[in-house]
Each structure stands twice: as C-alpha cells, then as structure tokens.
Amino acid sequence: MLQLKNRIAIVTGAAKGLGYATVKKFLELGAIVSFCGRTQESVDKAVKELAEFGQVDGYVCDVSSKEQVRKMVKAVGEKYGRIDILINNAGIVRDAQFYKMTDEQWEEVINVNLNGTFYFTKAVVPYMIEQKYGKIVNISSISAINGNFGQCNYAASKNGQIAFTRVLGKELGKYNINVNAILPGSVESAMISDMPPHLQEMRIKATALKRMGDPEDIANANAFLCSEWARHITSQTLTVDGGRS
C-alpha cells in the first residue's frame, strides 16, 4: 500500500483547490504537512478543516517573497528537524492577449509561478541534501505545452518549471532526491468555475475521458511521485489531463 507515514511535507498555495486536496491526501497517507496560503483567514479555515485528517500546520506566505519563504521553511525545519517533501503548487493566472498584456501582469505571474518555485526549492534543498533524501514535485500545466490563448505569461512560467525540473533532477540525483513535474489539464477549481459554461464544455469535449479533472486526481499523482513507488523516477513530467493533449 502506498504510504507517506511520518514524512515531513511542505505544500505551497494549499488553502484551497489542488493544494488543499494534496494536503488532505498526504495527511490520510500518514504525512505531517505544513502548507501556506495568502491570507490568515483562508489558512485558519483550511487548518481547522484538515486537522481531523492528521498533523497539519498553516502559514501565511507570499511565495514571491524570498524573505517570507525562507522564514516559513526555517520554521518547519526547526520544528521537525527535517523536510522530506516539497510540492510547489502555488500559482496564479493574469490572462491577456500579448499586445494587451501589461508589465505588471507578466511580472506577477513569473514572480509567483516561477520565482516562487525557485525560492521554496532553494530553501528546502539543503535539508534534503543533508539527510540524503527528498521528493520535489512542481505543479506545471499542459498550457506549457499547448500554449493556451492569452497565456503567454502563464505558459512561459509553467514551461520554465518543466526545464527547472529536468535540470534539477539531474543535479540532485546523487543526493537521493527525486524531482518531477505534474502537468494538470482542466481541473475543477475556482479558476475553471469562473469560465463561461460554453468554454468549460469545450474543454471537457477536448479530453479523451470526456470529463473535467478533480483536484484529487492531482493529489493522487503527487502522492505517487512522493512515495517509494516512484523512487526510480526523476526529471520527468507526468501529464494528468484526461487525454486532452
């Protein structure tokens, strides 16, 4: 049976959505999880709901702030003495056609999606190198491959995560650290529910399975890649999109 018993995990952007589902899944599998969200209210709410499944800590952290990231990782490391798993899940969209896209829209997406991944990984890796063990999963997107209309900034950030994953896995393999990426397709979320119904239907029709993904589908993939079942998998991308790509 797949287990993560007593593994110390960090999941970013997990007060709701895919990250929340991953925290819940990890707790159910025996992990001890620390996660971050954007506001104290959302973090407190998530901790209250998730506490019934296991030992969980919530932090307010802006992943685009290296100072806040370092502070959170230091707190987790000091509390538990090790960090075994990192899920770089936090991400945002600021969609616009390129000729209408502002500098701020570009920079905000790159800062959260790509720089945030760098900052958390940079802070966590020293723990993993010292203990000669670690699992890192970066949540990218099929937009990195398909290039969805109006998402130059988002696609660039997510493709950056893929390249980051491939190189880092090769560099860290000698320390028994696995680094992989997941490419979700359309998954039930606030982001998707805000879309007009006809666009949601188009996305469903584009999949082989003719359904929208569920956050638990991504949580299951995260659990697999962070388990010993995937110990010989690194520098890879796992597409979880219902056969859309």
Flag whether the pTM goes above 0.85: yes
Structural domain 8-236, CATH architecture? 3-Layer(aba) Sandwich (3.40)
Burial class of residue 211 (count of CB atoms within 10 Å of its CB; 0-12, 13-18, 19+): exposed
Domain layout of the chain by residue ranges: 8-236
- Is it the case that residue 192 has pLDDT exceeding 70? no
pLDDT confidence band for 158 (50 / 70 / 90): very high
**Pair of tokens at residue 143:** 């937009």
Q: Are 180 and 234 in contact (CB under 8 A)?
A: yes
- Is it the case that residue 191 has pLDDT exceeding 70? no
Percent with pLDDT over 90 in the chain = 85
Average pLDDT of the residues in 104-109: 98
- Is it the case that residue 141 has pLDDT exceeding 70? yes
- Is it the case that residue 76 has pLDDT exceeding 70? yes
Q: What is the pLDDT of residues 4-17, one digit of tens each?
A: 999 999 999 999 99
The residue annotated as part of the active site, out of 119, 133, 154, 175, is 154
Cα distances (Å, whole numbers) of residue 225 to 25, 35, 40, 95, 98: 13, 18, 30, 30, 35
pLDDT confidence band for 199 (50 / 70 / 90): confident
What is the per-residue pLDDT for 197? 79
154 is catalytic: yes
Average pLDDT of the residues in 197-201: 75
